[in-house]
Amino acid sequence: MGDGIGVEDPDFENDVLNGQPEKYADAAASAKNTNRNPLPSWLMTKFREHVEASNKRDGNRLPPLYAKHQTFWFPSKSPFFSLLQKQVTPQCLFNPRFFLWDPEPLVFGGIPCPMCGQKLMRHGHVERPHRCIDLYDTFWIIGYRYHCSSCLHPISKKATVTFNSWDTHIISNLPPHLAAEFPVRLSFRSGISFAAFGFMRSCFQNGMGAKQFSDALRVQHLQHYDELHLQYLQAIAVGSKLKTWLHQAYEPFPKFEDQSLTGFHGYVPSAQWLHGLYDEFIEEHQQELVQHTAMLSGEICSIDHSFKVCSHKSIFYCLASKHLLWQCTKHIAKVNGVPTYPGLLTVTNEKGEIRVCALVATKSHSQFEIALKKMQESLHLYGHAQPSIFILTIWLISSFWRHHFPL
Ligand SMILES: [Zn+2]
């Protein structure tokens, strides 16, 4: 049903995302941190190991991972090698992947503060790694806090403003070829890798909805987890005779969504979460999509009313509300329970591309007059010929039509 699985981090939305300055080192901040769901011990142990290793900086303030290995990804042990240990536990197989994101020493001249432009200084690591959903598992970002010495916190009036290194405003201030290394699209609560997000876009464009995608993602994550479980059982089975003789017992493999300290804390986002992230992405590109549509030709056009905005269409833009849409038109807006936009007027060109897409309150021609006038203007503006053939249903033939597009 696209509900996802596992528990979202309920406090993540209070974090310092999207340039919201946060004061640190005060009672409110530490109280907030203690309220959070604890992360599993196997994850935090690895996290602390990596943070400690990254604190040993060279002369250029680079952590060994950047200076020696020249990568943002920490190597992670393959399950086979974990199973060679004497005391095997399910947690040995969890081997989380970590991405170290500290771009400050990589930028010549430092990173400017998004608010005042002053050079930011590193101020320790973020207390917890940030979870990111990938195609079949989860990886974690290790981030740093960057402190601005000149910005004052609006409430405390103290210079305690910090930004997380994964803050979108910090990333947008980086050289593009460095920003391109950041592998995640973040939301308020979690994040999804660009690989999974890109695949989701392809799925949506090919008729798969958010519910189906969430379910498919859940299957991939569960399958990967089940395979680890199987590998664990196989390793135990190989040496079982000796281990039985030694009376050695093994821990059972925990459930995917087990939230105990030694549990896996598996999580797959719901359809609603994925849907929201996709809508946000489309809205960010609203202007480009509208511009692209305005530059298309329209020599042979077909005009129609549709009553469901279908996911196969590439752009859904409401001329009235200036919002992009992709849902049933009857559910877009209701006043006293009556749908305000019962239909969607669509004009497609000779290549089958959508040339006009406008929500309409009725089938009356006054509803699409503006849209067709704008189309006429943009065809002229971008040097296209005016329509020579318009395929339309009979009720659309009107004086407006004959006046504006004489054939
Ligand atoms: Zn500042």
Q: For residues 5 and 218, is the Cβ–Cβ distance under 8 A?
A: yes
Distance (Å) from CA 64 to ligand 1 centroid: 29
How far apart CA 155 and CA 157 sit, in angstroms, is 6
Q: Look up the pTM and report it.
A: 0.77
Distance (Å) from CA 115 to ligand 1 centroid: 5
Strands 138-147 vs 97-101: parallel, antiparallel or unpaired: parallel
Distance (Å) from CA 55 to ligand 1 centroid: 25
Q: For residues 104 and 170, is the Cβ–Cβ distance under 8 A?
A: no
How far apart CA 166 and CA 172 sit, in angstroms, is 10
The residue extents of the domains of the chain are 12-193, 287-404
What does the pLDDT read at residue 324?
A: 46
Local confidence pLDDT in tens for the 407 residues of the chain:
677 777 665 444 333 333 343 433 333 444 444 456 789 999 999 999 999 999 999 999 999 999 999 999 999 999 999 988 888 899 999 999 999 999 999 999 999 999 888 999 999 999 999 999 999 999 999 999 999 999 888 887 888 888 999 998 999 999 999 999 999 998 766 899 999 999 999 999 888 989 999 999 999 999 999 999 999 999 888 876 666 667 778 889 999 999 989 999 999 999 988 988 999 999 999 999 989 999 999 999 988 776 555 443 334 444 444 444 444 455 555 666 666 666 777 888 999 888 888 877 766 677 778 888 889 999 999 999 999 998 875 444 455 555 666 55
Q: Identify the residue whose tokens are 């050289």.
A: 175
Closest to 66 measured CA to CA, from 146, 156, 142, 158 = 142
How far apart CA 135 and CA 216 sit, in angstroms, is 10
Distance (Å) from CA 50 to ligand 1 centroid: 29
Distance (Å) from CA 71 to ligand 1 centroid: 29
Closest to 13 measured CA to CA, from 161, 165, 184, 130 = 130
Q: Which residues on adjacent β-strands are paired with residue 390? A: 301
Distance (Å) from CA 154 to ligand 1 centroid: 12
Q: What Cα–Cα distance (Å) separates residue 285 from each residue in 41, 295, 372? A: 40, 16, 23
How far apart CA 404 and CA 407 sit, in angstroms, is 9
What does the pLDDT read at residue 306?
A: 64
* SS3 annotation, the chain: CCCCECCCCCCHHHCCHHHCCEECCCHHHHHHHHCCCCCCHHHHHHHHHHHHHHCCCCCCCCCHHHHCCCCCECCCCCHHHHCCCCCCCHHHHCCCEEEEECCHHHCCCCCECCCCCCECEEEEECCCCEEEECCCCEEEEEEEEEECCCCCCCCCCCCCEEEECCCHHHHHCCCHHHHCCCCEEECCCCEEEHHHHHHHHHHHHCCCCHHHHHHHHHHHHHHHHHHHHHHHHHHHHHCHHHHHHCCCCCCCCCCCCCCCCCCCCCCECCHHHHHHHHHHHHHHCHHHHHHHHHCCCCCEEEEEEECCCCCCCCCCECCCCCCECCCCHHHCCEECCEECCCEEEEEECCCCCEEEEEEECCCCCHHHHHHHHHHHHHHHHCCCCCCCEEECCHHHCCHHHHHHCCC
How crowded is residue 110: how many other Cβ atoms within 10 Å of its Cβ?
A: 14
Distance (Å) from CA 149 to ligand 1 centroid: 7
Distance (Å) from CA 164 to ligand 1 centroid: 13
Q: Which two tokens stand for residue 371?
A: 């849209």
Q: What Cα–Cα distance (Å) separates residue 153 from each residue in 24, 115, 172? A: 10, 11, 22
Distance (Å) from CA 118 to ligand 1 centroid: 5
How far apart CA 158 and CA 331 sit, in angstroms, is 48
Distance (Å) from CA 153 to ligand 1 centroid: 10
